Structure formats: C-alpha cells, structure tokens
A and B are shown apart, each in its own frame.
Chain A
C-alpha cells in the first residue's frame, strides 16, 4: 500500500484538515455508491465497506483513512479543536495513537512551539510518525497543514517538518501554509510567519501558500453571487467549494467556508494518488517538475471552477473558460497576479471528463499570453484524473511556480520590520529556552535573500535572452 501521511498542526491546521477528511470521505462514498454522501455517517461507513458489515463498531477496525491511502497525525498544543473533532462524526476515523495534544497552547509564540513543545514532544512525534509509516510498505509523501501566524502550527509545525526530513529524508514533503491577512488579530503573526518561512524555505520540498485574505475575498464573492441569484450564476447548493452541507459537519463555524476552499486544494492535489487516471501524476513528480531551484519551491495554487458551477456536460467553450480562469487574479489562493509576473513552471491537474486533446488545445492557446522564463518556455506539466469532485463534471488545480509570490513576502517582511524596529514583544520570545535574537536576524535575512532571488528572475522578464552558446566540437 502506498500512503500519504498527513500532519495537521495547530488550530488552523486541524480545522482545515478536518474539512479535508470530511470532503475526502464524502468523495469516496460518492464514488463508491452514488448518493450516499447525503446520509448519516453510519450509513456512509457501511457503504464504504464492500463486505457489507452492518456493525459500525466493527468498521472502526478497518481504518478508513488507510483505505483512502491517507493517514493522519493530529497535533495541537491545546485540546479544544481536536476535542471538537473527536466529538463530531470524524471521531470514527481517528484513534488515540494518531493524536497529540497539550492543554495550554503556544500563546501565538513561535518559539514556544518550536523550542519548548518540540523538546517535550519530540520523541512522541517521531514515535507516531514511525508507527504510521509501518502501516505501509511505500510511503509516498508527507503533507503538513498549518498556519503561519500562531505559535503551534507555525513553530511546532515547522519543527515537525524538520523531523520528517531527519527520519525520512527521501520522502517528499509538501506543506500547505495559511498566511495571515494584514488585519490579523494575532499581533505577533509577522514574527511567527517570518520565523516559520525560513524553516519552510530550508526543509520543505514544496510549499503551497494560501492567504486568508484571498479566502475571505473568494467566499464573499461566492456568497454574493449565490444571493444575487442571477440565472447562470447559480451556485449549486451541494457544491463542495465552500459548503460542508451534505457532508459530515454540523453547524457552520466562522472559518468553515474558507477552510473548505483549502480542503478542495488538498482534495485535488491528492486525487491522482487516490484514483486512477489516464495521465497519472505522482506526488513526487510535483517537485521534480516544478522546482528548478531548491529554495524556490513556493507554488501558487489556483482553483477552478469557483464561481460558476453546473453539473451538466460542459460545452467546449466553458471548458476552455475553466482553463483561462485558472490564470486570473480572482482564482488564486494568494493575492497575486501570475499573468503579469514570470512563470518558472506550471502544472495543470485536471479532474473529470477532460481529454488529452483538451489539454493540448488549451496549453497552446494560453502559453502565448503567459510569460515564461527563457529557459523554460515549455514548462508545463499535466495530470489527468478521471474522477471529478462531487457535484462537478470537471475541475482544475493549477500550481504555478511564479514570481508573483514576491509581493506577499515583501509585505510580510514590512510588517515584521515594523515590529522588530521597536523590539515589540521581543522579550516573550527571548525568554524561551533555546531562542536567541539571531533566530530573528537569520530568519529575516533568509526571507530577504528569497525575495532577491525572485527579484532577479523578475528582472529577466521581457528581456530577450539569447540562447546559451552551444558547446563547440573540435573535429
């Protein structure tokens, strides 16, 4: 069994993770037996089990997430969120060996998560990691889900990342990081984010950055459109994009709609690991094709369709629109404009009834208007998974290695500098055992040099780069 092992760390990480499990279970139930996803969880379990076991209790033994080729470890330094998950329908899915909690949280302090808790829990984390890895003879990929702004996800989460690297250096590490918006209620979020960035730059194979502000914008636009009720712009009620309805969740909580979008990102990226397709894209092919330089591994995700959803079989024009949308500003999960920045490489992961010829046609059509770096003019990687997401006929996830991440990073640096200049809140960090001022200065210079690397590439944009002079052969 090949497996993907998923770590969700901190409040945000677990709330997003929880939406992801929910959708993934729903999707598999839907694929197995059309229609059962609207029913209660118990019936879902019976449906998943092909042997027709009626007793839900007995079903627990068959680890449903293993069945999905996914395994999870949930880590939080407070109990609230994980307990809530355990009181909800997902409790059936996890057992105590997959959980790790403490009571007091990291108080929005990266150092507490990264230093204090990691020294307390290191052995337990490694233990859980090894146990989970034993379940499969081939560990394909690690996923880490966390926020950048708090203390646990950001601090302990990035420590988990380096533990993964120490224990299984050859297994690919893909991180989904939620970046704070500028009005974030966590005052220390710029510190936490910059300190975490350095870890991500050094230890991740790929990072999928997601900005909360973008999620808010997308949710608002979808809500607006569904209320305006214009024909043709109707959002289907069972759309999995922002709504958990019909799934496992109860009442909607504040972040739910936003987290659903991130969950969809994870759903699509793991789709070809979970289902068959005519052009399979292994998870380890993502880094191989999209990361030309080790540090420049930030891949901007965009999802389509977001705003116009319809289940009927799609005319070519509308299918082509899906491809165009993937490059527009309002479909990006960070606030960025890839079309007017420079592409280093781009992957299109398509689900549903889409043919290879559709892919080729759209790439030919779009590539002319998209600036690609001179040495990678044909930098496209494609994957086709035949199973579409629930309630859609097709979907597209684009991952762009694009210099458009730079403004996000620069803004973060600015916010950091504003605090750091005044040494605001610094003592909370420096009190922590193992934390030194040098962590701050090294983190900020790591970020600055990252920005500079993107800057240099950006500067090459539009300039006519002559082909490199070829080796000449003496005869």
Chain B
C-alpha cells in the first residue's frame, strides 16, 4: 500500500525533499529485498525504466523553492519528482494565513485536487495521505489547511496525517503565532493525527548532538527526515504475522490517536550523532531504552541534558494528584525499534501503567513495532512517537502570545482584509484552549 505526500510552501517542500531522500537511500542500502520493495512501493512509483518517482505533489505559491527541490531530487541520481506533479504560482502568500486559506486555496482547488487524484490513481492501494508544511508562513499554513480540508472531502475514508513544522520562538515571521493558531485549530477538525517537529528543538539537536557549526535549514531538515523516516519505513507489528505491515498511517493513527481530543504527536529518536562517529559507536538496547524512557517521562527531546530526577509517580501520589509538574503523562506511545537484536530488547519499561492516564489500560496505550533491518546507517535505533503532554508547553506559549496580540487587535486587519473575522479568531482560540485544557488534565 502506498502513501501520497502533499508538500506545501517553502518548508513543506524542503522537508519533504529530505524525507524522500532519506527513505530512498535507506531502502537502497544493502541486501534486504523485501524491506526495500515494501518501502519503494510505499513512497515511490516507477518509470518505465524502473527509476523511482516520489508519490508526491508539490505546491507553493511561488516558483523558487519547488524548482530547487525538484532539481535537488533529480541531482541525487537515485530518485526524482514526477514531471507534472507540481503546482506553483508567481508570488507567495506573504506570510498571511488568510491569503492562503481564503484566496489562493480556493482559487487553485481544482488543479491541486487533480494533481492529488492522479497520484492516488497510480497507487494500487492507498494507505493514506500525508500533508507536510510549516505553520508560520502563509502558504504552507493557509493553503495547507485548505488543501487538507479538500482532501478530507474527496477522501472521507482515507487516513490523513499532517506533518507540521513549528516555528523558532523568534526571528522570522512576526505573525507566526496567529498563523499557527489558525492552522492548528482547523487541522484539529480535519486531520487524523498531527505529527509535530519544533524548529528550536531540532536546531538544538543539530548543534549539540550533531555538532554542526553553521546550521542550515538543510541540516535541520535531515534530522526531521531521519525521525520521520524511522516512523514510516516498513516494520513488523504485533498483528502483521511476520511480514511487513502494509498500512503505516492507519496503524500509526490507531496506535496513538484514539480520541478526537488528543491528536498531537511528538517524536524523538535515539541515538543521533555525527555521521562520522556512527561507525565507532556501539549501543546496547537496555542503555538506549533507559535513556529513551527517561526522555519520555521528563519530556526532553534530546539525550543530552536529560533530567534524571524526574520519576514516575507512585499510585498514591497519583491519586492525591501529586504527579509533580515535570512528569510528562502519556495517553499513548508507539515505540519503534530497528536494527540488530531487536527481539532481545526488553521494552517493559514503556508498558508501565504508571506512565499513562488511568482511563486506558497499558495494553491499549502502548504499541511497539520492530524491524531487524538497521535504519539509515544506525546499527540500532529507537524512535518514540508519543501522544503525551510533550507539546503542551509550546502550544500554550504559542496560544498565549497570539492571544496577547489579539487582545490589542494587532494585525487583525491584515486578516479581515481576506475574509477572516475576529469571530473566526475567537473560534480558533476557543478550540485550542480546549485542546490545552484536555492535555493538561491528562493524569
């Protein structure tokens, strides 16, 4: 089964390109025919000459980024984008969600739907759709939201996953919190699950774990692609009976997004290191999993600087509501192990009911996937996709800043100009406050 990816705006098109690159080079590595076949079928179709072509539709309101991504892909020599599977215009959405959602989206609806339809028809079976974008600009966020809405209408039964890049705290787009609020509130109604990468976090991984001096977006995107790839590449699941599971998005959603109030997924991967050091490092599963578990409960996205003081609350602490502010309560977790000796790894620490809310049993809350094929050059690697309070703080910050701005009605005229009213803002704020409140009451 195959996944059709829709890349939107500058960020979506740049991150998407890195994702296909990682997935393709991982699949072509070494001798593992079945893995590689399943991965290729999932993300690529083939030209008559057998060259992989990404199952992707590229959308931006300006031409430069798409040109660049297509060129980069073609230059890799391993894969490319389809010759006719992109759509661009002359001028971006000017960092304005309303311009993207109310003007550009509707104006180009038919073209975009047609491009997606062609890609979908090329799949023997469609596993689902993945839309990739940032939330801070105008095109990815605004057009991306609109397109997600169209996809929901056209493919009511398909799984739709949104991959979102959250902005740096400062420095690029002043209205980023408004754009983020509008995007998230709308997607929450449309999407099956929302997978988030925060630029600040990934940037820190680049500097502290990968020791990169001058960090470019391309460096950041490779980290995102690595983490995403390790979620989406073929794996064996509990009920896939010894063969690679066919439905990555569906199983991801059913493992993690079991409740419409809780759709925000965060990801962390271990280990991550400069590629030059990988060959000289060895890891043991108990060591990796111990770190990963502590990263989960203390909510750190990186092995460096883990707070080892945070511990799982005891039963009585929990009933008295004394879970401690640092403890990150989970609703559901998906652990993905790839590489050598995966079947010897003891994952019991993640099945501990104390990690989860009381209203789900740990059998329901915890899922694990495994594959003996090492991923992206790491002999062993573990990725945790978590539906937990991990994104609560950044979400709360985002909404808080946007709300402060909204209280002064600053910049609102830029949105009303395109048909987004104060009431629309209020509705979005309300629905996100609801999400915040739901996540803060997890326990």
Contact = CB atoms under 8 A, between A and B. Distances in A.
Contact of A292 (B95, B410, B434, B441): B410
B95 A289 contact: yes
Contacts of A278: 216-217
A282 B170 contact: no
A446 interface: no
Contact of B91 (A138, A276, A375, A378): A138
Contact of B413 (A280, A293, A367, A473): A293
Contacts of B278: none
A376 B170 contact: no
Interface of B, secondary structure class, is loop
Contact of A381 (B172, B401, B410): B172
Which of A2, A276, A289 has the most chain B CB atoms closer than 10 A to its own CB? Answer: A289
A294 B413 CA distance: 7
A380 B174 contact: yes
A359 B174 contact: no
A355 interface: yes
A467 B404 CA distance: 6
B91 A2 contact: yes
Interface in B225-255: none
Given A293-B413, A356-B216, A345 B174 contact: yes
Interface in A258-303: 276, 278-280, 282, 284-285, 287-294
Contact of B170 (A290, A380, A468, A470): A380
B283 interface: no
Contacts of A408: none
B215 A467 contact: no
Interface in B319-364: none
Given A138-B90, A282-B94, A294-B413, A473 B433 contact: yes
B94 A471 contact: no
A381 B408 contact: no
A360 interface: yes
Contact of A467 (B92, B400, B434): B400
Which of A291, A344, A375 has the most chain B CB atoms closer than 10 A to its own CB? Answer: A375
Contacts of B155: none
A357 B94 contact: no
Given A137-B90, A356-B216, A378 B430 contact: no
Contact of B433 (A2, A379, A468, A471): A471
B414 A378 contact: no
B87 interface: no
B414 A359 contact: no
A290 B429 CA distance: 23
Contacts of A280: 64
A381 B174 contact: yes
A80 to B, nearest CB: 38
B279 interface: no
Contacts of A356: 215-217
Nearest to B169: A378
A363 interface: yes
B404 A357 contact: no
A355 B216 CA distance: 9
Nearest to A471: B433
A250 B408 CA distance: 52
B214 A357 contact: yes
B175 interface: yes
A374 interface: yes
Contacts of A279: 172
A378 B171 contact: yes
A: contact size bracket: 35 or more
B407 A375 contact: yes
Nearest to A1: B90
Interface string B373-409: 0000000000000000000000000011101111111
A61 interface: no
Nearest to A280: B64
A471 B430 contact: yes
Which of B174, B403, B409 has the most chain A CB atoms closer than 10 A to its own CB? Answer: B174
Given A356-B216, A376-B410, A468 B403 contact: yes
B433 A470 contact: yes
Given A140-B91, A280-B64, A471-B433, A291 B173 contact: no
A289 to B, nearest CB: 4
B400 A470 contact: yes
Contacts of A344: 410
A363 B171 contact: yes
Contacts of B171: 359-360, 363, 378, 380, 382
A230 interface: no
Given A290-B174, A367-B170, A375 B410 contact: yes
A279 B401 CA distance: 24
A473 B430 contact: yes
A379 B90 CA distance: 27
Contacts of B91: 2, 138, 140, 282, 284
A422 interface: no
B148 interface: no
B71 to A, nearest CB: 13
B208 interface: no
Contacts of A364: 170
Contacts of B399: 470
B177 to A, nearest CB: 9
A276 B437 contact: no
B434 A473 contact: yes
Interface string A364-387: 100100000011101111100000
Interface in A105-149: 137-138, 140
B294 interface: no
Interface of A: 2, 137-138, 140, 276, 278-280, 282, 284-285, 287-294, 344-345, 355-357, 359-360, 363-364, 367, 374-376, 378-382, 467-468, 470-473, 475
5 nearest interchain CB pairs? A468-B407, A292-B410, A138-B90, A284-B94, A289-B174
Interface of B: 62, 64, 90-92, 94-96, 138, 169-175, 214-217, 399-401, 403-411, 413-414, 429-430, 433-434, 437, 441
5 contacts: A140-B91, A284-B92, A380-B170, A471-B403, A471-B430
Given A284-B92, A375-B404, A381-B172, 20 more contacts: A279-B172, A282-B62, A282-B92, A288-B94, A288-B175, A289-B174, A292-B411, A360-B171, A367-B170, A375-B405, A378-B401, A381-B174, A467-B400, A468-B407, A470-B433, A471-B403, A471-B433, A472-B433, A473-B433, A475-B437
